[in-house]
Structure 1
């Protein structure tokens, strides 16, 4: 969030669209915007500027479904992180299993299981200013403070943004240095979480001119998020039964008494940004920036419903340390009559984690016992003296990620014909290390060179792409405009290294499946070396028509893609890119002297050969291209400002996303088959064709609710020389399936629908403000994700104690807070 925002809201872009604005005003959520300018409230909705099409232009002139939150609106909604603003974007959905592990989706384009470091790239592009910060490690958890704008762009943006902008783009635009004046500010906040602890944060910024044509902007922040999940006392017995073939096995009791703790999921985040802007001359501007952020998270942000509200049982320490840094350079200027922009950046991210994996051993032990008294999972693990040992596991993650990108664009924004022409280059490297550890494990069962390690993943992933792109606009008449775009791309993605067991534990996988000496340091050998390359195009065609100065309709055909990749189990072929085709009709309109805005868009999307992750042999994620899905939807938003004191913002989406063909499994070549149930099983398939579909035609796609909506009302009033306000927000959605496959969905069930309510009251005068708020006022437990820690058919079963292994992620409980801000 930002202070009072008055100085920051006046900042402008380096260049703007020279065409006369049609005078359209701006709206709130979803297909338009929620941006509010500083200063006194007006009995109109104010005009704003966005850069979603890589140029500054009036939002109501943009024939795209956009949600934009400006500095003041982010402040009004008490936004400091992704979770705070995502609930106000109805076309957006997400899944998060814990701190710094969020995967974002737009418009129902999700098959489930995304976010694995060795699997599909994201379907939503994420940008910080001009630079892409999309990472396979999940959504970059940027702290939101001193931010000019957050833009959510729904639908494929394949021509201007390319790979991984398949279903949409999220853009975070920072406030830039301003050579025109000194400014500074700070915000202090304290809050108390129901069922939890006290949290607090400090944020501050300084804008310092250093010359008539140059300025530096510094930003710093610290945030302590209160814990609210309790790690309860619990125990597990291994093995659950005595194996007659191993009469010497002694049952081992494991308890978590040393880790019992209330409110154990606290998080600390701190970081800083610095930017230098220099106006080189009247035509050229250079902006150099750098940022760093570190988050330290303890515990887990999920609970076990079988253990009661906000309770969980963890048997090994859970922690996650996520740190990242980015450096960027942007040059903007004129070359003759053309605008030229260069944007280059380098991003480094490191995530170190320790995660309890006790469920794996426990539920596999339960599964083995169901086969009979001679089956026992615990008997596979013993120490150097061949005594049985505690078979439970935990894993340590060490993920190192680097990304650099370069983009150069030439554009002409004047006249009847306008264009942008650009080149883009991107290189991502991800060094993956995960150790699955069983304490006191026999040396012969270990992965060679890794003490107590039953399984090792140590791989390098490279994702590289190049692109040339253009987008044009041509005014056929004063009211009718043609839009066309194309992007030619090439990608080259590879995955190589080692994953699996040591040869002493498995005679067919891991070390036993190696085919070459080690090419990754500290691995026993190489059992994975796969590359996929391809070229292709994305396209965009559209028409816009101005009904009058404040109303527009548009029609768009656009495509988006997600690159293919390598599977980490060598016999499997790489998975191919998947493509999304979007047909969209939309409108943007203002009524009643610009006091009422109504925007909307209807869309139909076809998702062909979509990448579908499943858990295969040894619980490894495999990605194959399934058949196809279709998605219908409608988005709408409105803003109503009947007086200079009252504003009402509302938005909603309706999405119907489902399979358009049966999914019956994959054949031996990794291709899906759809003809089931059949009279005779085909030996060329891996599944049983005589069985019903694993997911039938019409099966809903997971995670995405049919309906999602939000409504925010704000009333401002004088209090002597001060201005007071009261505000209330309601956001919610209906139920959504948790999984695509019928069997998995039957075990885990739906993510239940929910409604969240927030309130705030406050005072402001001149340069200070004071706000009291309550978020999640009725202390609801929204089901944001339901999942298990290992294959659903194993960890989703019910154990001897009556519990299953299904966890639920939820929002922070009722939080009451007080915030003070001051701008100098």
Structure 2
């Protein structure tokens, strides 16, 4: 398979501490993020421009911590990386062994395990300075303690303070209908998007005998991020924003895991189970939404207090999602030295997301306040449950000493549901929110789409206006043929399939969306020359992506997901590493992806993707994106080059110097050409990192600079409501449209010192 690995030494050399750091050096991987803990990951150009949130599609990329999946619906866990053995990037569908969250690829973070053979440990400290920002600090360490010749415990801890670099500047805004003035003055602050992260990991390794080991572990992290991580279009300058409400986000999570490995005869058995709990609390500004709807639709006329006086429509969101996930996998494997080999297993996982989003306008009248809240103009209070079941297996057969055939399959079932409340009070809207509920205070008012009354089972919801479920069963194939030319070269051909489950749209009048499927046709090679001083790996591939799940902002800013048609990605990737002389290593890797639609994307989806077929109720259909449109978010080319020279300057003192260059090409801002014209594209950018340091005995020191030319690279963009509203393409409002562009970290200069024992 196509796999790229960043080992422990390389992770240290590249200053990798978090997700944003290591994904830069994986050429097949791109990402979007709106701040810590919100990253969306893509492999090989498999992206339709997802507007990811708590009620949208599952990710196309699976992320694993050791043997356990930690993929979540609402963004990748922002794990601080320390005492990590390696990070693996498995490109292409990994559906047979890794399941539904690995439609396009899998990232595995492998930790260092307890070692009963020796006592060891390390401490590392860092101070850094960010351009346009303040100072940051890092302290981290681990200790490995043998408790006997067969039992050891390994404990890891870290504290990381990232300096902010976005300024919240002084600005005013007058709401058109009421004439009420809003100002950012109470919240003006330089460098206000600082992040504080601390956490730890502890694992116990128990060797019961020569065949069986048990590894219970627990890892937890608390992360507090203040401010906002985008720069605003329009009135603000580079790395500036104007937000009219306080903003912060806390992301607390822990995962308890258990891995049992052993043998029965010559067969290997593995059980991997985990329980993940993640709580997020945050406040975010939502005043753009109120302002633009006031300016364009006069909505401010309905925002009043109990006396009938107009009040400021200034709006903010208090978020309280509560996420839990449990997973269980049992695998058996036949002896690896046999001509015929088998891996087979069972898998189950259940993800539950308790969704709470309070959209608040202070001091509004009781009649327009959602029942049971203090001042909510809108409430989302829902429970989403995603269930996955699977039986999987792979057979490998050595046809000859050089030729191996592998065939695998995964039979899966998903069962996903969404129940709860979303919307306005009955006094504010006669057709959404409370007015559309199936019941009020336990008394049935309406029936759900299935025709049965629905009790109010969601605590904190005034009533239930959404209760839907979707499920399906199918299977995934994989076939691989590998030929070993000699001990230093092989070629392979692979067909593999991945999928992403269907799900529920939180606007109940919109039908559930169907699964999408990714077929991968791949040819690759792996080679080594000159006593392993030259390694060259590569692959070419075609990905056929059918029934693409596409999400967009609809009415009331609700995410709507539809199956947008079919796409095709053709590309190649390569990885070259050379050691021309003693102490000098050179590496270059890259990927190219030509990703585009092969069918029209219709305003109302249908099974044939024929945009001449009317939509529901005979509604007019139209082409939102024609066949041939390039897919968004991923550059045609991404690559990096790293050069490192190590030399012994004196007896027992080793020094090094290193340079790294990363290139990210231009990316499109949206799949739909009309929306793309409003949103704009993301320009390509190149970053350069440099470091110099030495180590002697147990001690080390390093001076480094990342993004030394202070490039303001753009990773993603957002808007608080539909692009045609808050983007204001017609210039109806005085301020024009407002988008938020999320940018990479500015130039950072740091000094690291450490000791090992």
Q: Same fold (TM over 0.5)?
A: yes
8 A Cα contact 1:664 1:673, kept in partner? no
Question: Which residue does 1:534 correspond to in 2?
Answer: 472
8 A Cα contact 1:664 1:672, kept in partner? no
Question: Which residue does 2:725 correspond to in 1?
Answer: 794
> Matches of 1:418 and 1:131 in 2, distance apart?
24
Question: Which residue does 1:555 correspond to in 2?
Answer: 493
Alpha-carbon distance, 1:615 to partner: 2.2
CA deviation vs aligned residue, 1:730-778 (integer Å, no higher than 9, x gap): 0012111011111110011111100000000000112111000000000
Alpha-carbon distance, 1:235 to partner: 0.4
Alpha-carbon distance, 1:418 to partner: 1.0
> Matches of 2:614 and 2:544 in 1, distance apart?
29
Distance 1:580 1:207, change over 3 A: same
Question: Which residue does 2:299 correspond to in 1?
Answer: 377
Q: What SS does the corresponding residue of 1:160 show, helix, strand or coil?
A: helix
1:742 and 2:643 matched? no
1:419 and 2:342 matched? yes
Question: Which residue does 1:818 correspond to in 2?
Answer: 751
Question: Which residue does 1:284 correspond to in 2?
Answer: 212
> Matches of 1:608 and 1:408 in 2, distance apart?
31
Alpha-carbon distance, 1:683 to partner: 6.5
Distance 1:425 1:514, change over 3 A: same
Alpha-carbon distance, 1:441 to partner: 0.6
Structure 1 runs (4+) greater than 6 angstroms displaced: none
Distance 1:714 1:685, change over 3 A: farther
8 A Cα contact 2:292 2:733, kept in partner? no
> Matches of 1:451 and 1:511 in 2, distance apart?
16
> Matches of 1:686 and 1:730 in 2, distance apart?
54
1:387-398 residue pairs with structure 2 within 5 A?
Answer: 387-398=309-320
8 A Cα contact 1:402 1:428, kept in partner? yes
CA deviation vs aligned residue, 1:294-332 (integer Å, no higher than 9, x gap): 000000111114311111001001100000011111111
> Matches of 2:633 and 2:686 in 1, distance apart?
16
> Matches of 1:404 and 1:149 in 2, distance apart?
24
1:215-294 residue pairs with structure 2 within 5 A?
Answer: 215-239=152-176, 250-294=178-222
> Matches of 2:682 and 2:147 in 1, distance apart?
53
> Matches of 1:741 and 1:502 in 2, distance apart?
33
> Matches of 1:501 and 1:365 in 2, distance apart?
17
1:325 and 2:248 matched? no
CA deviation vs aligned residue, 1:385-442 (integer Å, no higher than 9, x gap): 1111100210110010111111111001221111101111111111000000001111
> Matches of 1:801 and 1:582 in 2, distance apart?
49
Q: What SS does the corresponding residue of 1:73 show, helix, strand or coil?
A: helix
Question: Which residue does 2:284 correspond to in 1?
Answer: 355
8 A Cα contact 2:125 2:138, kept in partner? yes
Alpha-carbon distance, 1:665 to partner: 1.1
1:501-516 residue pairs with structure 2 within 5 A?
Answer: 501-516=424-439
> Matches of 1:779 and 1:688 in 2, distance apart?
49
> Matches of 2:91 and 2:186 in 1, distance apart?
47
1:293-304 residue pairs with structure 2 within 5 A?
Answer: 293-304=221-232
Q: What SS does the corresponding residue of 1:211 show, helix, strand or coil?
A: coil
State which drifts further: 350-359 or 796-805: 796-805
Distance 1:136 1:356, change over 3 A: same
Alpha-carbon distance, 1:684 to partner: 4.8
> Matches of 1:683 and 1:467 in 2, distance apart?
35
1:671 and 2:606 matched? yes
Alpha-carbon distance, 1:672 to partner: 6.2
> Matches of 1:337 and 1:210 in 2, distance apart?
29
Q: What SS does the corresponding residue of 1:143 show, helix, strand or coil?
A: coil
Distance 1:686 1:264, change over 3 A: farther
Distance 1:814 1:686, change over 3 A: farther
State which drifts further: 588-597 or 196-205: 588-597
8 A Cα contact 1:663 1:673, kept in partner? no
1:311 corresponds to which of 240, 247, 255 = 240
8 A Cα contact 2:513 2:561, kept in partner? yes
1:586-625 residue pairs with structure 2 within 5 A?
Answer: 586-625=524-563
1:594-743 residue pairs with structure 2 within 5 A?
Answer: 594-666=532-604, 671=606, 674-676=609-611, 682=614, 684=616, 688-689=620-621, 693-721=623-651, 722-743=653-674
Listed as ranges, the gaps of 5+ residues in structure 2 are: 443-455
Question: Which residue does 1:459 correspond to in 2?
Answer: 382
1:577 corresponds to which of 510, 515, 521 = 515
8 A Cα contact 2:707 2:746, kept in partner? yes
1:808 and 2:741 matched? yes
8 A Cα contact 2:564 2:602, kept in partner? no
1:455-534 residue pairs with structure 2 within 5 A?
Answer: 455-516=378-439, 517=442, 518-534=456-472
CA deviation vs aligned residue, 1:346-401 (integer Å, no higher than 9, x gap): 10000001000011012223323xxxxxxx22112101111111002101100101
8 A Cα contact 1:363 1:799, kept in partner? no
> Matches of 2:554 and 2:607 in 1, distance apart?
15
> Matches of 1:560 and 1:287 in 2, distance apart?
30
Q: What SS does the corresponding residue of 1:98 show, helix, strand or coil?
A: coil
CA deviation vs aligned residue, 1:563-595 (integer Å, no higher than 9, x gap): 111111222221111110000000001123321
Q: What SS does the corresponding residue of 1:713 show, helix, strand or coil?
A: strand
Alpha-carbon distance, 1:687 to partner: 5.9
8 A Cα contact 1:218 1:274, kept in partner? yes
1:197-208 residue pairs with structure 2 within 5 A?
Answer: 197-208=134-145
8 A Cα contact 2:402 2:485, kept in partner? yes
CA deviation vs aligned residue, 1:80-126 (integer Å, no higher than 9, x gap): 00111111111111111122111111111111124211111111111
Alpha-carbon distance, 1:449 to partner: 1.1
CA deviation vs aligned residue, 1:198-235 (integer Å, no higher than 9, x gap): 00010000000001100000000000000010000000
Alpha-carbon distance, 1:674 to partner: 4.0
Q: What SS does the corresponding residue of 1:642 show, helix, strand or coil?
A: strand
CA deviation vs aligned residue, 1:441-489 (integer Å, no higher than 9, x gap): 1100011111110100000011111111001111001111001000001
Question: Which residue does 2:446 correspond to in 1?
Answer: none
CA deviation vs aligned residue, 1:49-105 (integer Å, no higher than 9, x gap): xxxxxxxxxxxxxxx111111111100000000111111111111111122111111
> Matches of 1:137 and 1:802 in 2, distance apart?
31
1:117-156 residue pairs with structure 2 within 5 A?
Answer: 117-156=54-93
8 A Cα contact 1:103 1:114, kept in partner? no
8 A Cα contact 1:709 1:733, kept in partner? yes
8 A Cα contact 1:625 1:672, kept in partner? no
8 A Cα contact 1:305 1:311, kept in partner? no
Distance 1:81 1:686, change over 3 A: farther
CA deviation vs aligned residue, 1:776-818 (integer Å, no higher than 9, x gap): 0000000111221211111112464444211111111110000
8 A Cα contact 2:556 2:721, kept in partner? no
Q: TM-score, normalised by structure 1?
A: 0.88
8 A Cα contact 2:244 2:285, kept in partner? yes
Distance 1:411 1:715, change over 3 A: same
> Matches of 2:387 and 2:717 in 1, distance apart?
33
> Matches of 2:521 and 2:614 in 1, distance apart?
38
> Matches of 1:381 and 1:410 in 2, distance apart?
62
Listed as ranges, the gaps of 5+ residues in structure 1 are: 1-63, 243-249, 369-375
Question: Which residue does 2:699 correspond to in 1?
Answer: 768
1:430 corresponds to which of 345, 350, 353 = 353
1:77 and 2:10 matched? no
1:65 and 2:2 matched? yes
